[in-house]
Amino acid sequence: MTPLAKLLEAALFASATPVPVDSLEAIAKHAEDGETTLEAALEELRLHYDIDGHGVELVEVAGGWQILTRPEYTEAIERAQLAARPQRLSTAALETLAIIAYRQPIGRSEIEEIRGVGAGAILKSLHERGLIDITGRGEGLGRPLLYGTTPNFLEQFALRHLEELPRADELAIALRAPRQGTPPGGVPANKDNGEAPPRAD
């Protein structure tokens, strides 16, 4: 392996979370390995793991890179109680996350209007899990809290960035007619109607 690839391997090994591309670039700059670019070194490391047969792999996620164990060893690791798979989220929680991912920043009442159920308890537990965060306050009555997804959300859902989610018009059922007016008892509609592709924070 080139010196840079080895250095990156060490840096990625030392971090428990995905290392952002910015940090990797900074590391590469100080490495004084003028011959290899960051992209080439990362590709080299990825192939090294893939071809030589390793128990770990290099993945691109949440705007950075991370070394993860291969799926075939998950059971053995879990049986040995070295690590535990995170709890699965309920459908209700996933629905809430999906709405937030596409419409962020979004307030609680709008989420409730789309799902037709109260969202308070779910928002609280998603927040505790670090999947969503409060990103600001809305203009409406009472200046409601607005929620958005976190980098941890991308990491937990193996997404490189939000744009990796299917665009609204790529879904089997795209909204055909733009929504008219304000539904009874609901909040004023968000300006972008969920038809815009999701945006990064």
Positions in the binding site for another protein (CB under 8 A): 13-17, 57, 59, 66-71, 74, 77, 81-83, 85-95, 97-99, 101-102, 114-118, 120-122, 124-126, 129, 155-159, 165-166, 168, 171-177, 179, 183, 194
> What's the rounded Cα separation, in Å, for the pair 107 and 132?
12
Residue placing its CB nearer to another protein in the complex, 135 or 190? 190
* Upper half-sphere CA count for residue 115 (Cβ side, 13 Å): 22
CB of 3 vs another protein, minimal distance in Å: 22
* Cα 33 off chain centre by: 32
Residue placing its CB nearer to another protein in the complex, 37 or 118? 118
Q: Mind giving me the DSSP string for 156-181? A: HTT-SSGGGSPPGGGSSS---S---S
Burial class from Cβ neighbours inside 10 Å (0-12, 13-18, 19+) for residue 29 reads: exposed
CB of 30 vs another protein, minimal distance in Å: 22
CB of 109 vs another protein, minimal distance in Å: 14
CB of 200 vs another protein, minimal distance in Å: 17
Residue placing its CB nearer to another protein in the complex, 5 or 131? 131
Residue placing its CB nearer to another protein in the complex, 41 or 119? 119
* CB-CB neighbours of 34 under 10 Å: 7
CB of 163 vs another protein, minimal distance in Å: 13
> What's the rounded Cα separation, in Å, for the pair 101 and 87?
20
